[in-house]
Every structure is written in C-alpha cells, then in structure tokens.
Amino acid sequence: MLKAKKQTWRELGDAVALTGESPFWDPVRRAVLSVDIRGERILETNWDDGNARIFPVEGLPAFIAPLTDGTLAVATRHGIIGLSRTTGRCIEMLVPAWFADHLRLNDGTIDPAGRLLIGTMAMNGALEGQLFAIERGQPPVALIDGIGIVNGLAISPDGLWLYISDSHPDHNCVWRYRYDCAGPTVCDRTLFADFKRLGIAGAPDGAAMDVDGGYWIAALGGSALIGFDRDGRIAHHIALPVSQPSKLAFAGPDMTEVAVTSFSRGDQSAPAGTLIAVSMPSVGAPLQTLAW
C-alpha cells in the first residue's frame, strides 16, 4: 500500500452533522448539498463563505440530488420526496410499493440517462440490500440483490462501468459491473477491491470518479480517501482529519477539490461531523443531472 500523504484541507462552514452523508456539488449555486441522516435535515453549504441553509426532513434522508428546476430530490426511509429550496415544503415523489418496514434507502448516483440508481439496506443487519434504477413515472428496475449495505455507487466517465461497494462487515469490498445504460442492465461482475485483502483500514463507503476513470472512496473508520486506478490498484491514500469519512464529491469551480462528509466521533482533529474540503491530485468527473 502507498504511504499516506497529508493533504491540504479546510472546513466548509461550521454546520455540524450527526451523520453527514451524500455530498453533491451544485455548480449553479456554488454550493455543496449534503444530508444529516440521524439529524434528519438537509444542508446547503455555500462554497465561498461557508454559510449553510438547513432544511428539516423527516425519515432518515440518505441521498440528495438537484433537479433542473432547483428542487431537491431526497431519498428517505419512506421513499423519495421533492424539497423546495424556496419554501422548504416537501412533496411526495415516489413511495415504492416494494418497500418494507425494516428497509431504508441508502447511497445513490445518477446514470448518463439521468436515472436515479439507489440502493436499499436492511436496518436489522440482514444481507437484503438491492440496487434499483428508477425513472419517475416508471416501475423501478431491480439491478442487483443480495447486498449487505449498498454504498460506493459511481459510474465511469464513459458510462460503461458501474461501481458498488458493500460496506457490510461480512463483505467489505467494491464490485465492478459492465453497465448498459440503454436497458438499464448490469453484467460481468468482478471483484474490484477487497479492503481486507488489501489491508485498508475501515469500510468502503461513498465514492466518486475522476476524469481519468479513477475511483475514489471514503474509508469509514479509516480516516482516509483511497484512490484506485482503472485496474483496481491503489494509486492514492489521502489521510484525513476525520476518523469517519462517509462520502466525497468533487467540487469547486475547477473540480480539483472534494467535499467530504463524516459521522460525529470525538477522535478526529476537525470538529466532529464537519463538512471539509480537501485538495486533490486529480480532476473530478462532472456529476450527471437527475432527469425527473
């Protein structure tokens, strides 16, 4: 494994999350969107001055993405809602008929067609997680099942590969699939990175892609961001001031920094649950727009 390198970082404002997750760069408003799962709220943090707007949202919000009209699509325990950043009102967008009481939505990403790819996880620890492709007004399409905790979702810049991590202790690895956006369908699963075999501390949580097809993932409990090349080799190991980094999103006008969310813990040099920005050795791939 490469030796960890200290990296320049800064706090993005002083808003603190109990369980910070799902950062999403909004270039129109020059802001980082994120969720506080246990705090049940949405944060919109200004990139330039760190001021944060906070919107209460019930139901353990876990993923967020802006629509073309500025509305925020938020995945919660009960389904997907639309949140107005003007009024703070929430409207029901999708309540899946397949949802069970012991399940909740977790990590998500957006494919080149603007579909929402989002996973479920069982709150009782069972290996019942699934990955769904969802278009508004259409039945969800089940792509993958038998996952412990769906995380690490990202699609390569050419749209050909889907990455998904399973941060359940029984798995603790990243898989890669061939992705056909026209279907959508997945096939040709390969083991991309086994955290235990590679000796990486922590669990593979949220992820992002760079323009060269590099896959970056937060090591929850490992105080680091891990960068992999296309062949699954560790190319970068960036030490962080937070022990529980949960997800990263390339951000900023030139996409050379990442916004990193984290869980509240006392054993970290940055204030627990603080959103931080970290300078990166690569340029981030632009995020897709949710076409709902």
Q: Binding residue per annotation — 205? A: yes
The residue written with tokens 């990590």 in the block is: 107
Choose the catalytic residue: 205, 212, 229, 254: 205
Q: Binding residue per annotation — 21? A: yes
d(CA 169, CA 153): 18
- Looking at the DSSP bridge assignments, the partners of residue 262 are 245
Question: DSSP secondary structure string, 180-219?
Answer: ETTTTEEEEEEEEEEHHHHT--SEEEEEEEBTTS-EEEEE
d(CA 22, CA 287): 13
The residue written with tokens 């129109």 in the block is: 28
Specify whether the backbone of 30 is left (phi greater than 0), alpha (psi in -120 to 50) or beta: left
Whether 69 is catalytic is no
> How far apart, in Å, are the Cα atoms of 91 and each of 21, 57, 79, 119, 133?
22, 11, 11, 21, 21
d(CA 282, CA 105): 30
Q: Binding residue per annotation — 51? A: no
Q: Binding residue per annotation — 233? A: no
Q: Which residues are annotated as a binding site for a divalent metal cation?
A: 21, 151, 205
**Catalytic amino acids?**
205
Q: Which residues are annotated as a binding site for substrate?
A: 104, 106
Q: Which residues are annotated as a binding site?
A: 21, 104, 106, 151, 205
